[in-house]
Amino acid sequence: MADAAISVQGARKVYSTPGKPKRTAVSNVSIQVESGTIHGLLGPNGAGKTTTLKMLLGLVRPTGGTFEVLGMDSTRPSGRRRVGFLPEQPYFPVNLTARQAMRFYGSLGGVDAARIPERTTALLARVGLADAERTELSKFSRGMLQRLGIAQALLGDPEVVILDEPASGLDPVGQRDVRNLMLELRDRGVTVLLSSHQLSEVEAVCDQVTILNRGSVAAEGDINALLNVDGRTSVRAMNMAELPPQVVSVAEEIAVSGGMWVFSMPTEQTRAVVDAIDEAGGTIAAITPKRESLDDYFAALLAAHTEDVAS
């Protein structure tokens, strides 16, 4: 893919311990992340998500595969200069204050020393830590440490941001802030690779997803294309005491609440249903492709993929 900001091709990781059978953590995983998009990396525990990210970032030596960020070999330090990373469980020197930690990680990342104080103030305020700049990290809650981890990932003004479980330890307000931040990054042209267990988070922000299971790719693609149900349309209509008989004859999953009728139907019946509702004096509130929840799609996919792998 010519405009891929992140390219993983044939990633493989086999762990070998003397006296024990070899264990394949990742087997032939390929991921393409388009520039300026949010790409979700999904999978149950042990699927190989974190191992794949660590190979991409040179933190784990791959058994096989190629790894590139912005066209450069990301297993080498020179290929990671424009990358920000939040690990799954960030750890910080607890004797430092938040401001000192940002200066420390900024210097490690090669950020211009003159820019670090200004960037630190802005980023700590953005993640909700403006009042904790001079607080020692030993007094931080898990959620506060997670916010700090996000701030340090953005310190170098990266073109690519890789977030491994960014909402971990955050309350609902913090999770919302992370979602908004990812959308802001995308709007600025930053590429985001998000690894998450929280399906609602992925569904809310991601343009495309790759789903891993047992170390291999179970599905990938545009999230709407994956979740839209072929040949089915959802309708919301109101201002009717009951649905017209012509609608009832083709509708499924009919529900009504507060005067709003919700149902699905075959897409080819859309014109006939709209005409019937109009003739009955009703009002169409929305017509959209029927969409499966990511939770249901995910569960069904993993069950099918597990059976295929086992067979």
Q: Would you kindly state where each structural domain of the chain is located, as residue ranges?
A: 4-225, 230-294
**Beta carbons of 158 and 191 less than 8 angstroms apart:** no
Q: 33 or 203: which carries more pLDDT confidence? A: 33
Give the model's pLDDT for residue 289: 87
How large a percentage of the chain has pLDDT more than 90? 72
* CA angle, 133 then 144 then 185, to 5°: 85
CA of 256: how far to CAs of 32, 48, 250, 253, 285, in Å? 42, 43, 16, 10, 13
Sheet holding 260-266, edge to edge: 252-257, 260-266, 228-238, 283-291
User: Can you tell me the mean pLDDT for 163-180?
Assistant: 90
Provide the pLDDT confidence category of residue 202 given band limits of 50, 70 and 90: confident
Fold agreement (4-225, 230-294): no
Task: Flag whether pLDDT at 306 surpasses 90.
Answer: no
Averaged pLDDT for residues 78-104: 93
3-class DSSP assignment, residue 241:
coil
Multiple choice CATH, 230-294, 3.30.70, 3.10.350, 1.10.10, 3.40.30: 3.30.70
Q: Token digits for 110?
A: 């090669």
pLDDT value at 240 more than 70: yes
The residue ranking higher by pLDDT, 83 or 306, is 83
CA angle (74, 79, 85) in 5-degree steps: 70
Rounded to whole angstroms, the Cα distance separating 10 from 32 reads 11
Fold of 4-225: Rossmann fold (3.40.50)
Share above pLDDT 70 across residues of the chain, in percent, rounded to a whole number:
98
Q: How far is CA 62 from CA 1, 10, 28, 30, 53, in A?
A: 22, 10, 11, 13, 11
pLDDT at position 296 is: 79
Is 308's pLDDT higher than 90?
A: no
| pLDDT score recorded for residue 307 | 66
Q: Which pLDDT score, from 0 to 100, does residue 311 have?
A: 53
- Rounded average pLDDT over 93-103: 95
The model's pLDDT over 253-294, given as tens digits with 9 standing for 90+, comes to 999 998 999 999 999 999 999 999 999 999 999 998 887 777
CA distance 104 to 157: 16
